[in-house]
Amino acid sequence: MNGLVFAAALSAVIIFGGSAIATKIAVSAISAIDVSIMRTLIGGLVALPLAYALHIPLPAKTTQIYLLLVSGFCGFIAFPLLFTLGVNLTTANHATMILAILPVLTGAIAQFWDCQRPCAGWWLGCALAFAGETLLLYDPAAVDGLASVEGDMLVWISTLFASLGYVSGARLQRSGYSARGTTFWGVGLFALLLLPTLPLVVNLDALADAGLYAWSGLMYQAVGVTVVAYILWYWALGTGGIARVGLFQFLQPVCGIVLAWMILAENISLIFLLASSIIMVGVLIAFRAR
């Protein structure tokens, strides 16, 4: 793996690691649905002019168009909506550890796409990871009402869409289409689809009164995650390979937990540490067994 791929993957994972914290900050004064919609809309308003200025064409092949639509819908519609709704009902720590399953799901979807079957070790690792995520429900944060089963489940479902989006975007990159095009046109096209809903769904008055703190979280998601991180990640996956680059996702929970402790002052209980350890061991076993 060359230095540029390493730097791109590491940078993307660090940015992704702050996603749950930024979402928690944004929903402190903005509704979860408004955050998910504005995240894609703002990202699209940034991405589309860049696509035109850089003369990035839309995909020409039917297969590439299909991959762009799948990656765009999963990455910029389904995932942001479900993830934001979930984070609003749980803690940033819980959301971050649930996202730890991403490398396994990404690799599994890639295998199933190629009509390959995971081995027994993969199933064992998944069972351990899911057991750890179940244990999260007994975390004191859940008992205190800071986390909920509904929130954790929404975040978990969002990871399925994120993984499918990653695989589609990586395959699009490997087919010869640029990572910038995958990101710019993916978020741009779906931002245009969301634009007519803006006055009907989004509370514009509440957005105007949200304050700098909430807006900082929203802008981090809209520009940092939706544009910058996705460009870096799709390029790294397509250039360095899904299996090898996917390993960098093991660093994402570490970044997220540290940031949640530093910025949101979220407590780290013994049960949370135990559940997190089980999840990470399960993910590692499953990923190596692939």
Predicted local distance difference test score (pLDDT) of residue 71: 93
Return the pLDDT at 253: 77
Residue 199: predicted pLDDT? 87
- Taking only the tens of pLDDT, the chain with its 290 residues reads 578 888 888 888 889 888 889 999 999 899 999 999 999 999 999 889 989 998 999 998 999 999 999 999 999 999 999 999 999 998 888 888 888 888 778 877 887 887 777 778 878 887 888 788 778 777 777 666 677 888 989 999 999 999 999 899 888 988 888 888 888 999 999 999 999 988 888 888 888 888 899 999 999 988 898 888 888 887 887 777 766 676 677 777 777 887 787 787 777 778 888 888 888 888 778 767 65
What is the model's pLDDT at position 217? 93
HEC states along the chain?
CCHHHHHHHHHHHHHHHCHHHHHHHHCCCCCHHHHHHHHHHHHHHHHHHHHHHCCCCCCCCHHHHHHHHHHHHHHHHHHHHHHHHHHCCCCHHHHHHHHHHHHHHHHHHHHHHCCCCCCHHHHHHHHHHHHHHHHHHHCHHHHCCCCCHHHHHHHHHHHHHHHHHHHHHHHHHHCCCCHHHHHHHHHHHHHHHHHHHHHHHCCHHHHHCCCHHHHHHHHHHHHHHHHHHHHHHHHHHHHHCHHHHHHHHHHHHHHHHHHHHHHCCCCCCHHHHHHHHHHHHHHHHHHHHC
pLDDT confidence of residue 144? 67
Q: What is the pLDDT of residue 276?
A: 81
Locate the domains of the chain by residue range: 3-118+146-269
